């Protein structure tokens, strides 16, 4: 069996994290190396490596993250003026942890293009 990712260890409470939201489908916690005043990682509890590994039956899971978890965090962290939601995929996308995650960045102006 392949080794657990760091995010699976966070889900299983094997390593600590600053959890800001949790339900049966998803978990959100503060990034250990924040790139903005607000930097939250939103993850599905289901182990999915990246956006390249999504299946037809993951549609509801993605909808849940966008329509339930995201609005909750936007309100909680007062991000109604705007924010950035980023998913890095694969080596060229800069992905370092191979458990699907969404970076929610806010609390400052986000320049474009990203590096």
Contacts with ligand 5GP by CB under 6 A lie at 6, 17, 29-33, 41, 88, 94-97
E strands, the chain, in order: 19-22, 26-30, 38-44, 84-86, 102-106
Peptide bond into 93 cis (omega under 30): no
Q: Decide: 85 and 51 in contact? Cβ < 8 Å.
A: no
Q: CA torsion sign, 112 to 38 to 25 to 43?
A: positive
> 10 Å Cβ neighbour count for 41?
20
Nearer to ligand 5GP, 51 or 88 (CB): 88
Annotated catalytic residue 53: no
Q: How far is the CB of 95 from ligand 5GP (least distance, A)?
A: 4
Nearer to ligand 5GP among residue 38 and residue 41 (C-beta) = 41
The string over 28-37, giving b where at least 16 C-beta atoms fall within 10 Å of a residue's C-beta and e elsewhere, is bbebeeeebe
Q: Which of 64, 72, 99, 101 is catalytic?
A: 101
CB of 49 to ligand 5GP, least distance (A): 11
Q: Which is nearer to ligand 5GP, 56 or 97 (CB)?
A: 97
Closest approach of ligand 5GP to the CB of residue 29, in Å = 5
The residues annotated with a catalytic role in the active site are 101
């Amino acid at each position: 069996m392949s080794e657990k990712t760091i995010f699976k260890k966070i889900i299983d409470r094997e390593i600590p994290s600053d959890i800001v939201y949790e339900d049966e489908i998803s978990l959100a916690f503060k990034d250990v190396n924040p790139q903005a005043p607000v930097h939250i990682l939103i993850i599905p509890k289901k182990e999915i490596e990246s956006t390249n590994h999504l299946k037809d039956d993951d549609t509801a899971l993605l909808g849940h993250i966008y329509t339930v978890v995201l609005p909750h965090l936007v309100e909680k962290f007062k991000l109604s003026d705007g924010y950035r939601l980023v998913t890095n995929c694969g080596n060229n996308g800069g992905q370092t942890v191979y458990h699907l995650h969404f970076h929610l960045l806010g609390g400052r102006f986000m320049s474009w293009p990203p590096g």
